[in-house]
Amino acid sequence: MSVIKRIAALVIAIAAILPASAQFAIGPRVGINVNSLHFNKDLFDSDNRVGYNAGVEMEFTVPVIGVGFDLSLMYVNRKGQYRENPDLTTSNIDNASCSYIEIPLNFKYKLGLPAIGSIITPYVFTGPSFAFRTSKEAVTEFYKSKKCDIAWNFGIGLQLIKHLQIGASYGLGMTKAVEYINPSHQSADIDGKNKYWTVTAAWLF
């Protein structure tokens, strides 16, 4: 079974156990991400670079208890700058940009606040994210992007006037995002995982 089919099956299973009173909302979502690639060898280092994301989000929430989940379909562009031999002034510097179709699935808990809950509602969320590469295979001459990048997100946010959601999250890469493919390099099995901060705004109807 493909990853997308597994995600769809999980969403259907979660929706099936939610009570009939569960609230559904959907709307556009946009934001920026600050990405850094962390290598498994000290020979390489990377700098944070800003990318962007845009797509659509849908949310299911159980009233009163505030428990639910959201699922998004996003176009994500992640950028990076990578340096070989970072301790040397003659380090080789590569700039890279990679695009993905990303599907984050978050379990969400909204903290109901008496009296002001209709104006502002804090929430926390966590869950997996599945990103499928849409750009070319090689991000630079010496780096190859993997087809699928899986991460786990941890985040907080605020819901304003029941429609606007502003959230910030940290994504911890769980699989290899890139591999180093320079055949002349002495070291083998050099790879990197994405770690990134994301800030988004969504308007849900």
The Cα–Cα gap between 35 and 12 comes to 31
Above pLDDT 90, what percent of the chain?
Answer: 46
| 32 vs 181, more confident | 32
Report the pLDDT value the prediction gives residue 37, as an integer from 0 to 100: 74
Report the pLDDT value the prediction gives residue 78, as an integer from 0 to 100: 86
Label residue 114 by pLDDT band (50, 70, 90): confident
Bridge partner list, 37:
194
**Domain boundaries along the sequence of the chain:** 3-203
Identify the residue whose tokens are 């804090």.
Answer: 122
- Mean of pLDDT over the chain: 82
Tokens of 199: 């800030």
CATH of domain 3-203: 2.40.160.20
- Tell me the per-residue pLDDT of 34-90, one tens digit each, with 9 for 90 and over: 987 777 655 555 667 789 999 999 999 988 788 999 999 999 998 766 666 555 454
Least confident of 49-58, 115-124, 158-167, 194-203: 115-124
Report the pLDDT value the prediction gives residue 93, as an integer from 0 to 100: 58
The Cα–Cα gap between 110 and 152 comes to 20
Per the CB < 8 A criterion, the answer to whether 30 and 53 are in contact is yes
pTM summary value: 0.81
Label residue 116 by pLDDT band (50, 70, 90): confident
- Please check the confidence at residue 191 and state whether its pLDDT lies above 90: no
Per the CB < 8 A criterion, the answer to whether 68 and 22 are in contact is yes
Give the distance, in angstroms, between the CA of residue 20 and the centroid of all CA atoms in the same chain.
30
Average pLDDT over residues 140-146: 67
